[in-house]
């Protein structure tokens, strides 16, 4: 399959082999990348700001990624406020409406994309309600963030800079993990070089959520899961410095899956660990 070999190792110090820009990828190419599970949890740049791995396209510069992340986060802010009734606080935090979030019917994907009813799991956390848009922590409670979205971590021994595509939530090994919204499991990682054991769920709201470093995965690719469904347990698999959950949210666009700040899709009470 096209790009399958590249996708398997992407995001782990392997030079990219993609076309010059993301828009050069055909529909078939994108489907191949999705099928291969391409979803790096961070990107890496050399001393001159040139992409080494985990980027949207070859020769991408660090400043280009930062600009793209800012642009897509601004787009998501506007979408959440206009389409989902979110409000923005004085410090810029987005707060979901108190009433259940409803998906705009005029933008709903074709029903054939998400066939059948969502799976009612043996363990269901009712606190998530019935929603197509993630709005709560997948852990089901508020914890602290040990590594934030977009943080540029300078790796002095490699002389490289890393940009985080998600956030790391502090969690002990074996902490229950829930689907934050209805969706379909599109990828299951088994000891992936960068993600360890992990899951990607595609939601009808045109977002994807990614979960890495799990101890156990309870779902399979193709499962339709409902909000609050127990999908796995957190762990310490893959390249980590300790037990935690890497949680990422991606906006599905014609330019590919864009990593946006997961804080927008969780309770605003989450703060950095001290």
Put the strands of the sheet holding 230-234 in their side by side order. Answer: 176-178, 230-234, 214-217
Does 102 fall in a domain?
no
Can you give the pLDDT at residue 103?
Answer: 52
Tell me 203's DSSP state.
E
Asked if residues 158 and 173 have their Cβ atoms less than 8 Å apart, the reply is: no
Integer Cα distance of 151 and 148 in angstroms: 6
Range of the domain at 142: 4-94+110-265
**What tens digit of pLDDT does each residue of 97-144 get?**
876 555 555 444 433 344 446 666 778 898 998 899 999 999 999 999
Q: Is residue 273, in this structure, part of any structural domain at all?
A: no
- In this prediction, residue 212 carries a pLDDT of 94
In a domain, 105, yes or no: no
pLDDT at 200: 95
Q: What are phi and psi of 189, to 5 degrees?
A: -90, 140
Sheet strands (E) in the chain: 42-45, 51-53, 87-88, 94-95, 145-147, 152-155, 160-164, 167-170, 176-178, 183-192, 196-203, 207-212, 214-217, 224-225, 230-234, 244-253, 256-260
Both tokens of 234, joined, read 């957190």
In whole angstroms, give the CA distance from residue 139 to residue 2: 35
- The parts of the chain modelled with pLDDT lower than 70 are 1-41, 99-120, 155-158
Q: What is the pLDDT of residue 105?
A: 53
**Domain CATH number, residue 31:** 2.70.70.10
Contact (CB, 8 A) for 244 and 148: no
Model pLDDT, residue 2: 33
What is the rounded average pLDDT for all residues in the chain? 80
Q: Quick one: pLDDT at residue 195?
A: 86
Domain count, the chain: 1
Say how far apart CA 202 and CA 243 lie, in whole Å.
Answer: 25
pLDDT at 109: 40
């Amino acid at each position: 399959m096209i790009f399958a070999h590249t996708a398997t190792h992407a995001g782990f110090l392997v030079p990219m082999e993609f076309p010059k820009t993301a828009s050069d990828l055909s529909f078939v190419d994108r489907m191949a990348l999705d099928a291969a599970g391409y979803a790096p949890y961070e990107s890496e740049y050399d001393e001159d700001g040139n992409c080494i791995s985990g980027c949207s396209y070859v020769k991408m510069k660090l400043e280009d990624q930062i600009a793209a992340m800012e642009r897509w986060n601004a787009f998501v802010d506007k979408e959440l406020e206009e389409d989902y009734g979110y409000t923005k606080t004085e410090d810029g935090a987005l707060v979901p409406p108190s009433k259940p979030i409803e998906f705009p019917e005029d933008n709903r994907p074709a029903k054939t994309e998400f066939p059948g009813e969502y799976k009612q799991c043996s363990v269901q956390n009712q606190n998530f309600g019935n929603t197509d848009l993630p709005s709560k922590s997948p852990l089901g409670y508020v914890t602290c963030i040990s590594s934030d979205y977009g943080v540029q971590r300078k790796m002095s021994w490699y002389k490289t800079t890393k940009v985080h595509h998600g956030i790391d939530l502090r969690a002990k090994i074996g902490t229950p993990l829930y689907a934050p919204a209805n969706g379909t499991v599109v990828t299951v990682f088994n000891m992936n070089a960068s993600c360890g054991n992990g899951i990607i769920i595609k939601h009808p709201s045109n977002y994807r959520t990614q979960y890495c470093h799990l101890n156990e995965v309870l779902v399979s690719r193709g499962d339709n899961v409902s909000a609050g469904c127990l999908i796995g347990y957190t762990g310490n698999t893959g390249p980590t410095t300790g037990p935690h959950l890497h949680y990422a949210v991606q906006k599905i666009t014609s330019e590919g899956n864009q990593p946006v700040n997961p804080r927008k899709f969780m309770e605003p009470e989450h703060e950095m660990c001290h």
